[in-house]
A and B are shown apart, each in its own frame.
Chain A
Amino acid sequence: MASFARSSLLRQTLAPRAPFLQKNVGVSQVVAFHASAKKQILPPLPQSVQGTMNDPAPIPETHPSEGSYHWSFERLVCVGLVPLTFAPFAAGSLNPVMDAILCSLIVAHSHIGFQAAIVDYFPPSRVPKFRATCNWLLRAFTLTTAVGLYEFETNDVGVTEALRRIWTA
């Protein structure tokens, strides 16, 4: 191409069609844009096409208990925790009933929080078994925590009172 372009006649005929022969602008910029190192943190999984290749991606099934109701329940627990968290600082401690409510809300809040983290970081398309393991581990730990807190509330002085004593020890 370059040797052809040196011919004056050809250069004249080609000039209006191929402006990049006149000034070489933009090529280096394009190259620089693509020159950054490729960092494969999570390389793509083996792909598969569901249905035919012209079908859109399937929309996941929705359920109110995983959407709006879950969100409202989450916020209710959070809002309930606010006074129960700050009350002991004013009162010094909580009576056993309020202490039990605080513990229940904290367990629910923790369970939802861990669940959100598992949903965010372990997608089922990438790590289905690990995600299932984490979910069952979480359920087991939530159960042992709830029973452990119940035992502590029943046989010991209660969480807020215990924290107060440890803090001022």
Chain B
Amino acid sequence: MFSQKVAQQSLRRLAVQQPLAMRSSMMGASPVAVALGKNIQTRQVTSTPNTEDPSQILVKQRLNRPIAPHLTIYKPQIGWIGSSLHRITGVALSGTLYIWATAYLASPALGWHLESASMVAAMGALPLAAKVLLKTTLALPFTYHAMNGIRHLMWDLGRGLTNPVIIKTGWTVVGLSIASAVGLALI
């Protein structure tokens, strides 16, 4: 309350006694600064040298930069989900092939039987439900990756690159791949 009264009084005094001075000072500094006598810029004679390496300021600043958000912030859409599935199915199929072929190469040393005759015998010994389940598990990634791969090749030619077409072909591939995988599993 006291500081408020002091400021008010000095401001009134200034306005009454030197109206021109107040008006001209208001162009530059705020009336509060004028009233408190803080409208005068002062500079110290000596200055303290900045010993900090300026490049380190940038290094520290970079650590505070925002980080790109993760996938969970995006709405699930056929475009990016389908694209992710393309890579996931591709890695799964190729991974299966790599593991099987490497195991086949190592099988004489390890005493495993991975030749076609024993695999056919093992498959034949399974119950029907297990056969269908195993075939579906193998066929679905294959049909999806094969059909979506054709879609990718069409994109590489620059065709079908509009949003409605991408949505339509995306769901077409999903439907066709599921249907053909079920068809293959029932052979």
Contact = CB atoms under 8 A, between A and B. Distances in A.
Interface of A: 3-4, 6-7, 9-10, 13-14, 17, 39-44, 47-49, 52-53, 75, 78-79, 81-82, 85-86, 106, 109-110, 113-114, 117, 141-142, 144-149, 151-152, 155-157, 161-162, 165-169
B55 A7 contact: no
Nearest to B64: A44
Given A106-B97, A145-B102, A152-B101, A162 B67 contact: no
Nearest to A41: B70
Given A148-B103, A167-B187, 13 more contacts: A4-B4, A7-B7, A9-B12, A44-B62, A48-B59, A78-B149, A113-B91, A141-B98, A148-B101, A148-B105, A166-B119, A167-B135, A169-B120
A18 to B, nearest CB: 9
Contacts of A166: 116, 119-120, 123
A41 B69 CA distance: 9
How many chain B residues sit at the interface, stated as a range, is: 35 or more
Interface in B23-64: 26, 30-32, 54-55, 58-59, 62-63
Nearest to B152: A78
A147 B105 contact: yes
Nearest to A74: B156
A169 B124 contact: yes
15 contacts: A4-B4, A17-B30, A39-B69, A53-B55, A82-B153, A114-B91, A141-B98, A144-B98, A145-B101, A151-B105, A152-B104, A155-B115, A167-B187, A169-B120, A169-B121
Contacts of A86: 146
